[in-house]
Amino acid sequence: MIASHALLSAQSISLVYRGGVRALENISLELPPGQFVSLVGPSGCGKSSILRLVAGLTAPTAGKLLVAGEPASRARRSAVRLAFVFQDPTLLPWRRVEDNVALPLELAGGARSARIEAARSALELVGLSDFARRFPSQLSGGMRMRASLARALVVQPELLLLDEPFAALDDITRQKLNTELSRLWEQRRWTGVFVTHNIAEAVFLSQRVIVMCARPGRIIADVQVPFEFPRTMELRSRPDFARLCGEVMSLLERGSR
């Protein structure tokens, strides 16, 4: 387990892409182990760029970013188990679901019997045990996203990064997967960073909602979400839930000007 009080620590991070595009400016953020936060903000404000920085896929232009006390590019190789869930499930169409889920363990060199056992356990967590031997083309969109989530969970991550994973789904499926993800977080208590444009989704899932402004992206608010877990569908109909969503919306509108 991570000994430091902060699993993720960003201090005055800026990111400038080639051509001079300033994606991020002066981002400072700390996440303790086991906390789930969401990033919301206008399109192009750098939310996904923050995930790439945390994953060590991109280096900041300025500032200091540590994951588990190490630079992000080094942390993902040795200091912390990290998994990334993208908007597209990116399942290999020629591999059965259990083999898709087991892929991270295969790349790490684990024995096949252990890989498949771990994959089936992850599929059970997301409610896909009966579909382990199916191919991705035989799954619905929501089921493919569950399989993608299982592939991330199979490594038992300490840090889970999610980049709009439910954006392409219908609202009913999306809300069901929100509830499922919240339940899984309660069981495993990974540190989660979730990017979304959906304010109700951010409030429902998170302990904190980080609001960003238009590019260059900066953090303009860090909103605490007070609702207890477990969170169920009924929470969405409560006046205090609607009120908090309205507060986040007002902040977001202010940051979009």
Verify cis geometry, omega within 30 degrees of 0, for the bond prior to 42.
no
Average pLDDT, integer, range 78-106: 93
Report the share of the chain in percent with pLDDT over 90: 84
pLDDT at 3 over 50: no
Quote the mean pLDDT of the chain: 92
* pLDDT tens track for 146-194: 999 999 999 999 999 999 999 989 999 999 999 999 999 999 999 999 9
pLDDT at 257 over 70: no
Helix then strand then coil, % of the chain, to nearest 5? 40, 25, 35
**Which residues on neighbouring strands pair with residue 13, listed in sequence order?**
27
Return the CATH fold of 8-81+158-255.
Rossmann fold (3.40.50)
Rounded Cα–Cα distance for residues 227 and 168 (Å): 27
Answer with the residue of higher pLDDT: 76 or 33: 33
Q: How many distinct helices (H) and strands (E) make up the chain? A: 9, 10
pLDDT at 2 over 50: no
**Which residues on neighbouring strands pair with residue 108, listed in sequence order?**
none
Please report, for the chain, the start and end positions of each structural domain, with discontinuous segments joined by +: 8-81+158-255, 91-156
pLDDT at 209 over 90: yes
Structure confidence at residue 96 (pLDDT): 97
